[in-house]
Amino acid sequence: MQMINVLIAVIMTLLCIIAYYTIEYTYARALIIGVVIVLGTICLINIYIKFQAKNKPRDFSRIKTVELVNEDNDIVSIWNIEDKTSLLIGKNTKDEKVNIDLNPSIYSNLVDDKHAVLNYAAGKWFVEDLSSEYGVRIKKRDDDIIYRLVNDTPCEIKCGDILYIAKIKLLLK
């Protein structure tokens, strides 16, 4: 792609030089050179924009949704967390509602009413096990290793990580 851009630039430069020396009318010279300068500027701007978009690092700390999936990786529930700062994970009861209700899962009997919490702080998401019986594990996108969380200790999570609440799988997207 870069060779094509260089070739186009060389051809346009040669056309400008040929037009300048072969065309006798000053108005026509100025018009052709002006058009070539405008087209060259537009091409350079487009190349710059494409280069910037290609080299922009992806922000994996920005999690938009949490997806509850079953054993076949079919999505059971989706929660949009984009504008949230704190979410309680667990099960809805008569007395208390949670933000991410895991009752639809067949393993909900292994989930505490208040099992874990997701917190957004300093531009990053964190998960914390609230001293649950069956714990919280996280499979990091970066190294594909499953870690067990220490109770009441926040752990940074990123887009692409997988949370395991007891035996329930939550995808962070």
Give per-residue pLDDT as tens, 41-100: 887 888 788 877 776 666 656 899 999 999 899 999 999 999 999 999 999 999 999 999
Give per-residue pLDDT as tens, 136-164: 999 999 898 999 999 989 999 999 999 99
Task: Identify the CA nearest to 127 among candidates 93, 91, 81.
Answer: 81
The single-letter DSSP state of residue 7 is H
The whole model's pTM is what?
0.67
The token pair that represents 77 in the structure block: 């529930």
CA 173 to chain centre: 7
The single-letter DSSP state of residue 48 is H
- 57's CB contacts (< 8 A; 6+ apart) are none
